[in-house]
Amino acid sequence: MNQLKLSLKSAVYILLGGLSLLALSSMAEEKKASAPPPQTNGGIDQESSFPKIASGKWSGAFLADGQPDVQGFWSNTIANHNNFTDPQGGIPGSGRAPKTKREQRAPSRVSDPANGEVPFQTWALEKVKEFQAHFHDPVEQQWVEPLARCAPGGIPKSFYWHGYEIRQYPNYVLFYFNSGTRLIHLDKKPHLPDNIKLWNGDSRGHWEGNTLVVDVGNHNGKALFGRTGEFISENGHIQERFIFSPDGKRYNYEAVLTDPTVYTRPFTVTIPARRWTEKDQPNGWHFEVGQAKHAGKQVILESEERICAENNAAFGMGASTQ
Amino acid sequence: MIVFSVDRIHPTSRVRQWFALTAFVSMALIAFNATAKDDIPRIKGKPDFSGIWQTTSAANYDLEPHSNRKDAPPGPGIVEGNVIPYLPKALEQKKKNFENRASADPATKGWTLGTPRGIYYPEPFQLLQRAQDLTVLFQFGHSVRTIHTNGTQHPEDPNDWWLGDSRGHWEGDTLVVDVRHFNDKTWLDGAGNFHSDALHVVERWKFLDKNTIEYKATLEDPQVFSRPFDISVILHRHREKNFQLIEDYRFTLDYDQYYPPKPDSK
């Protein structure tokens, strides 16, 4: 009994020590993350580097059903869908060269392989180059970015196409994106039959400590990764990890994309995201929320309706009709 | 161990015992009845409408009573009094809409169905509920409508929305939702019944039992209708094993074929 007491006491000390270390490391992460990034894109680029977040225990609040509570407003921190592998480098072929050197800008969203490039098979790389060459002059249908036609952003583009809201319910995590909606099922249902293919795929997830682990099947492969035209096909498979920081202020999205019909090997996509709250200034890209009207003094943030169903044209056309 | 025999108990105690027993049985019966009557799921005391729901009515084909036609089954209608009280000019527009419905119905283009049509369109929708709001996720278009139940009010000078701005409150076990600030791009059904951006809808959601919701709505639009009118449908819970929504982005079908890129030989 005494031994047990001692070991419990030691365990408490070890736990406390561990927590302080975690707290310290999270402070270090925050300090690192708060270094001023070069601003190159009017508030869309938020930072040019970001901390790594380790999978581990969740030390924040839990919901009644035992899920870590990560509800609220989120957005990626390294620019948008202009360019998948050089996120702050602008759209290739736009005639506007980046104002900074490559090493001053955020790293490629491809974190493995180390060269930051999608390991495309030769034919697929040719298709990507064709798309890039015709992006501003899409004289054939396949060169119109489907998002410009109101198609859902899909995976992974939805995570850097505007900010979004996470809502949680028993057995579900809902991603309310700017274009398209994803419902992650946590109830261990099997995937849909394989012949059903969807813009956002069919998502099955579970929590491992601070990490939401999601398996995506039934993906139709139609959403491109950005204005640079990278893609996966309907034969692809995506395994995602949403790793939340101990303070609940950030998460890193890490996904392994596998498609033997398009790539030479699986590769990893990493997208950093941070939470936006009532303490943040409004941001037309990352934080498009309103304040609810009510009798109390508390600030209540609300997403506005996100519906796009009318565009059916190339880049720029949609914007001009809005 | 001491065992009391009945005749050792004082007569007054026996009466007390009888009362106590009767009271206990009555309370148990009341509790049982309450449980049986109130066998509905709840969140923080309020009815929990979480689940996947769908109507079996033919309302989407025409809100008013109608015979069969090539593009619709017959239906008794869901309008109280059977007839939508159109203003004369609006009735002309409704007739035109009906004639042109094959191409003019926004639903045939895959556009967002609107409120209330999304509720009785013949595809499932999912309700996801928290204390502060209900999220309505429609399979058709995978569009999201939020019904706020946190005491907040309609915004003062908002945009017009496809699904309107929804503010709900509880009246007993009935969820009452006031919906305003619509655009005029949606129809009420596939028969050309329509509204303007002045539409105002008041919905009443109530459990009939744990797997059935009674949905009622009052529609008001002084630019289109001569007076408010009421509609009512029953919504059934999907209980099939592993049932789920399957995203239905209908409006992408015209260009689906162009993506993703394929090797030239294929």
pLDDT tens per residue, range A150-196: 999 999 999 999 999 999 999 999 999 999 999 999 999 999 999 99
Residue B6: what pLDDT? 39
Overall pTM > 0.95: no
| Count of the separate structural domains present in chain A | 1
3-state secondary structure of B151: coil
The residue with tokens 């203003």 is B87
CB-nearest partner of B259 from A142, A302, A305: A142
Residues B130 and B202 in one domain: yes
**CA dist., res. A308 & res. A148, Å (int):** 10
Say whether pLDDT at A73 is over 70: yes
Longest dimension (CA), chain A: 80
Is residue A178 within 8 A of residue A164, CB to CB? The reply is yes
Residues B49 and B28 in one domain: no
Phi, psi dihedrals of residue A151, rounded to the nearest 5°:
-65, 155
Residues B208 and B166 in one domain: yes
Tell me the pLDDT tens digit for each residue of A95-111.
888 889 999 999 999 99
Q: Does A27 touch chain B (CB under 8 A)?
A: no
What string of DSSP letters covers B18-81? HHHHHHHHHHHHHHHHHHHHT-S-EETTEE---EEEEE-SSGGG-SS-B--BTTB--B--SBTT
pLDDT band at A39 (very low <50, low <70, confident <90, very high): very low
pLDDT band at B21 (very low <50, low <70, confident <90, very high): low
pLDDT band at A32 (very low <50, low <70, confident <90, very high): very low
Say whether pLDDT at B164 is over 80: yes
Tell me the pLDDT tens digit for each residue of A238-258.
999 999 999 999 999 999 999
CATH of the domain at B96: 2.40.128.20
Residues B60 and B190 in one domain: yes
Tell me the pLDDT tens digit for each residue of B177-229.
999 999 999 999 999 999 999 999 999 999 999 999 999 999 999 999 999 99
**CA dist., res. B217 & res. B202, Å (int):** 5
Q: Distances from the Cα of A98 to the Cαs of A36, A40, A91, in angstroms?
A: 18, 8, 9
Say whether pLDDT at A44 is over 50: yes
Say whether pLDDT at A5 is over 60: no
* Residue type at A266 in one-letter notation: P
Angle in degrees, CA B232, B233, B235, rounded to 5: 145
**CA dist., res. A171 & res. A184, Å (int):** 8
Is residue A218 within 8 A of residue A198, CB to CB? The reply is yes
Range of the domain at A294: 72-321
Mean pLDDT of chain A: 86
Say whether pLDDT at A27 is over 50: no
Say whether pLDDT at A213 is over 50: yes
Q: How many CB atoms lie within 10 A of CB B23?
A: 10
Q: Å from B123 to nearest chain A CA?
A: 17
Handedness of CA A279, A281, A285, A290 (dihedral sign): positive
Average pLDDT over residues A60-70: 97
Q: Could you tell me if the ipTM is greater than 0.90?
A: no
Residue A236: what pLDDT? 97
| Type and span of the H or E element at B98 | helix B88-99
Mean pLDDT of chain B: 90
Residues B164 and B201 in one domain: yes
Residues B11 and B96 in one domain: no
Angle in degrees, CA B109, B111, B113, rounded to 5: 120
What string of DSSP letters covers A18-29? HHHHHHHHHHHH
Is residue A184 within 8 A of residue A67, CB to CB? The reply is no
In a domain, B133, yes or no: yes
In a domain, A55, yes or no: no
Q: Which of residues 132-171 of B touch A (CB under 8 A)?
A: 135, 137, 141-146, 148, 150-156, 159, 161-163
Higher pLDDT, B1 or A143: A143
Residues B25 and B69 in one domain: no
pLDDT band at A55 (very low <50, low <70, confident <90, very high): very high
Say whether pLDDT at A317 is over 60: no
In a domain, A16, yes or no: no
Residues B106 and B132 in one domain: yes
Residues B133 and B161 in one domain: yes
Q: Which of B1-15, B69-83, B160-174 bottoms out in mean pLDDT, i.e. has the lowest?
A: B1-15
Q: Distances from the Cα of B109 to the Cαs of A97, B150, B163, B190, B251, in angstroms?
A: 40, 35, 16, 12, 6
Phi, psi dihedrals of residue B224, rounded to the nearest 5°:
-125, -40
In a domain, B72, yes or no: yes
Contacts with B260 from chain A: Cβ below 8 Å:
221-222, 224, 231-234, 262
pLDDT band at A312 (very low <50, low <70, confident <90, very high): low
Is residue B168 within 8 A of residue B177, CB to CB? The reply is yes
Residues B10 and B142 in one domain: no
What lies within 8 Å, CB to CB, of B138 at 6+ separation is: B112, B113, B118, B121, B123, B125, B144, B145
Q: In chain A, whose CA is at the least distance from the CA of B253? A: A151
Q: Which of residues 252-291 of A touch B (CB under 8 A)?
A: 262, 290
Q: Find residue A215's DSSP bridge partners.
A: A204, A239
Contacts with B259 from chain A: Cβ below 8 Å:
142, 146, 221-224, 231
pLDDT band at B23 (very low <50, low <70, confident <90, very high): low
pLDDT band at A117 (very low <50, low <70, confident <90, very high): very high
Best of B144, B160, B181, B250 to disrupt the A interface (most A CBs within 10 Å) is B144
The percent of residues above 70 in pLDDT, for chain B, comes to 86
Query: What is the DSSP pairing of strand B42-43 with strand A172-176?
Result: unpaired
Say whether pLDDT at B24 is over 90: no
Range of the domain at B64: 43-252
Q: Distances from the Cα of B263 to the Cαs of A26, A261, B29, B56, in angstroms?
A: 47, 10, 72, 45
Say whether pLDDT at B4 is over 90: no
- Percent of chain B that is helix, strand, coil (3-state, to 5): 25, 30, 45
In a domain, B17, yes or no: yes
Is residue B145 within 8 A of residue B138, CB to CB? The reply is yes
The residue with tokens 């955020």 is A106
Contacts with B128 from chain A: Cβ below 8 Å:
167, 169, 172, 174
| Count of the separate structural domains present in chain B | 2
In a domain, B210, yes or no: yes
Residue among B187, B184, B185, B188 nearest B198 (CA): B184
Q: Does A131 touch chain B (CB under 8 A)?
A: yes
Contacts with B151 from chain A: Cβ below 8 Å:
294-296
Residues B81 and B158 in one domain: yes
- The tokens for B206 are 């109530």
Residue B108: what pLDDT? 94
Residue B63: what pLDDT? 98
Q: Distances from the Cα of A278 to the Cαs of A60, A210, A287, A307, in angstroms?
A: 19, 24, 10, 24
Higher pLDDT, A315 or A225: A225
Residue among A241, A236, A249 nearest A269 (CA): A241
